[in-house]
Amino acid sequence: MSMVFAPRMAEAAPSSHAGASWSPYDNNGGTCVAIAGADYCVIAADTRMSTGFSILTRDYSKIHQITEKCVLASSGFQADVRSLQKNLDARHQIYQHQHNKQMSCPAMAQLLSNTLYYKRFFPYYAFNVLGGLDNEGKGCVYTYDAVGSYERSGYSSQGSGQTLIMPVLDNQLKSASPLVLPPRESSTPLTENEAVDLIKDTFASAAERDIYTGDGVEIVIINKDGIRRETMPLKRD
Amino acid sequence: MTKSNVMEVPPKGGFTFDLCRRNTMLQQQGAKLPKFRKTGTTIVGLIFKDGVILGADTRATEGEIVCDKNCEKIHYLAPNISCCGAGTAADTENVTDMVSSQLVLHRYATGRESRVVTALTMLKSHLFRYQGQVSAALVLGGVDVTGPHLHAVYPHGSTDTLPFATMGSGSLAAMSVFESRYKENLTKEEGMEIVSAAICAGIFNDLGSGSNVDLCIITKEGKEYLRNYQQPNPRSYSRSKGYDFKIGHTAVLSTKITQLRQHVQVLEGDAMEEE
């Protein structure tokens, strides 16, 4: 008599995740910040572009000027960011042909929101901060999520260092809580130089603790005299 | 035969995988496993004319955030042996501490200076028993009576014996420096220069490594531990006016003062003198 027995299969070592599949997105890291003042707006972004644990370049601009008075800073997947920038540029050109004037910052803010929501089911992997001067010459900052939800505020940060920088800005710029009545002005009471100083310090701090932020920071300042650029080196490790 | 109450003793040694099933089940249900603090890391070692030089960066990461800007990755094993550790920080710390203790007992038992191969065997047996669950990748180096030795130890328990070795997420950057510049019979200064260059390559090109360079030079004369041998990453900017938090910055909602003194009654003897 032969004994036939099916040997009990040893339990397969549990796998920690289902088979990895291809993703159309990548995250190139980086942080963007904007602060609005009474008559100026400061927009800044670091210049490091990375993928995984590697650096692709130390010198990449995430800031794009769309109109005379309106600048877009975006972190996330830079291929999508570039495509978004080109899209907005084209739409702005058409607007200029049709209306014989440049788009105002609030108008561009709405256009950006619509453009992002248009791709609600295959989003632009872009975390945007739009900054500029509104129709009255006051600084304005608009902050977005990946699918177009936006809000005007006095300051904002997006990207990998967002959670490191935002609490510092909240502490220094004393944002009005949405529950406070009457609602305070959305512009913050800092001078232009103080705002730039604060931004440099927050980026230096973020570069200490966030591995995706570093190399350099590009700062763009918009006021009634025009647009001016500054750069500052950051830690390269 | 006397009936003895024998308690159910779990199988000796090795890792029981029962909880791994529970963990995968929980994960599938959506629970998030706790994140480990990993050391990202670039660690290296090379053999030079008179002994061994070990090098390491000093950044510890929790995911994408740097949780320690200046941690120590070169661990003590014996007066003549050191070990650099990459992987999960708790694992590298504990496995090196454990083997270091075992080596002390071994020295008492044998009456001799510890040998690098002894440390190597203790480490690899432990790691193999735990089937890679102890995530420690080590560069072990030292000098004993048989000469200088350098080994790379992997989390599953395999080892390599090499003239130069690198481990960690920055190992490729560091190895590129070693492969182009290493040669036999290096002097101490040349060896230190090449090790620092390799660690710096990891620090600047790998996002998981950063901050400072630690070195450890071991010869038959002794061990020289150069903590923060190089500090190529100072803070880039500090706000000129600093951060000032005046009283009143935080709203005080209520205040309650409790006098402690009134609860103490001196029944006999002298009350303690106030200093």
Amino acid in the structure at residue A4: V
Q: Which residues of A touch B24 (CB under 8 A)?
A: 14-16
Note whether A121 contacts B: Cβ–Cβ < 8 A.
no
CA distance, residue B236 to nearest chain A CA (Å): 6
Are the Cβ atoms of B59 and A200 closer than 8 angstroms? Answer: no
The tens digit of pLDDT for each residue in B109-162 reads: 999 999 999 999 999 999 999 999 999 999 999 999 999 999 999 999 999 999
| B244 located within any domain | no
User: Which residue, among A35, A55, A211, A236, would best test binding to B if mutated, counting the most B CBs under 10 Å from its CB?
Assistant: A211
Q: Which residues of B touch A170 (CB under 8 A)?
A: none
CA distance, residue A57 to nearest chain B CA (Å): 10
Which of residues 192 through 211 in chain A touch B, CB cutoff 8 A? 197-198, 200-201, 203-204, 207-211
What is the pLDDT averaged over residues A75-101? 97
Are the Cβ atoms of B207 and A212 closer than 8 angstroms? Answer: yes
- pLDDT at residue A27 is higher than 90: yes
Are the Cβ atoms of B232 and A237 closer than 8 angstroms? Answer: yes
Tokens at residue B52, please? 């061994």
Structural domains of chain A, ranges and CATH numbers in brackets? 31-234 (3.60.20.10)
User: Which residue, among B68, B236, B244, B246, would best test binding to A if mutated, counting the most A CBs under 10 Å from its CB?
Assistant: B236
| B275 located within any domain | no
In chain B, what is the straight-line distance between the N-terminal and C-terminal CA atoms, in Å? 71
B134 secondary structure, DSSP code: S
The tens digit of pLDDT for each residue in B229-274 reads: 999 999 989 888 888 877 776 778 899 988 877 666 777 777 666 5
CA distance, residue B99 to nearest chain A CA (Å): 28
Are the Cβ atoms of B65 and A13 closer than 8 angstroms? Answer: no
CA distance, residue B135 to nearest chain A CA (Å): 15
Name the pLDDT band for A149 (thresholds 50, 70, 90).
very high
Helix, coil or strand: residue B21: helix
Q: How would you label B93-103 residue by residue, b for 16+ Cβ within 10 Å and e otherwise? A: bebbeebbebb
Integer Cα distance of B8 and A98 in angstroms: 85
Q: Considering the candidates B41, B58, B88, B96, report the single residue annotated as catalytic.
A: B41
Are the Cβ atoms of A208 and B66 closer than 8 angstroms? Answer: yes
Are the Cβ atoms of B69 and A204 closer than 8 angstroms? Answer: no
Note whether B31 contacts A: Cβ–Cβ < 8 A.
no
| B205 located within any domain | yes
Integer Cα distance of B25 and A88 in angstroms: 46
Structural domain for B208, as ranges:
38-230
pLDDT score, position A172: 85
A210 secondary structure, DSSP code: B
Question: Which residues 6+ apart lie within 8 Å of B121 measured at CB?
Answer: none
In chain A, what is the straight-line distance between the N-terminal and C-terminal CA atoms, in Å? 72
Nearest to A236 among B17, B204, B240 (CB): B204
Tokens at residue B269, please? 């003897």
Which residue do the tokens 């669950």 mark?
A: B133
Catalytic site residue B41? yes
Note whether A16 contacts B: Cβ–Cβ < 8 A.
yes
Q: Which residues of B touch A211 (CB under 8 A)?
A: 40, 61, 64-66, 207-208, 210
Q: Which residues of B touch A208 (CB under 8 A)?
A: 66, 69, 235
CB-based burial of residue A112 (10 Å sphere; 0-12 exposed, 13-18 middle, 19+ buried)? buried
Nearest to A53 among B65, B208, B211 (CB): B208
Note whether B207 contacts A: Cβ–Cβ < 8 A.
yes
Q: Which residues of B touch A48 (CB under 8 A)?
A: none
Name the pLDDT band for A76 (thresholds 50, 70, 90).
very high
Give the pTM.
0.81
Are the Cβ atoms of A201 and B239 closer than 8 angstroms? Answer: yes
pLDDT score, position A31: 97
Q: Do residues A168 and A162 make contact, with C-beta atoms less than 8 angstroms apart?
A: no
| B235 located within any domain | no
- pLDDT at residue A158 is higher than 80: yes
Q: Do residues A61 and A85 make contact, with C-beta atoms less than 8 angstroms apart?
A: no
The partner residues of A33 in beta bridges, in order of sequence, read A44, A157
What average pLDDT is seen over chain B? 89
| B194 located within any domain | yes
CA distance, residue A155 to nearest chain B CA (Å): 18
Q: Which residues of B touch A54 (CB under 8 A)?
A: 205-207
- CA-nearest of B216, B196, B57 to A237 is B57
| B262 located within any domain | no
Which of residues 151 through 190 in chain B touch A, CB cutoff 8 A? 169
The percentage of residues in chain B with a pLDDT greater than 70, rounded to a whole number, is 88
Note whether B61 contacts A: Cβ–Cβ < 8 A.
yes
| B23 located within any domain | no
The number of domains in chain B is: 1
Q: ipTM strictly over 0.85? A: no
The tens digit of pLDDT for each residue in B27-81 reads: 888 877 766 666 589 999 999 999 999 999 999 998 889 999 999 999 999 999 9
Tokens at residue B246, please? 């005046």
Question: Which residues 6+ apart lie within 8 Å of B21 measured at CB?
Answer: A11, A14
What is the pLDDT averaged over residues A188-214? 93
Are the Cβ atoms of B61 and A211 closer than 8 angstroms? Answer: yes
Q: What is the CATH number of the domain that holds B135?
A: 3.60.20.10
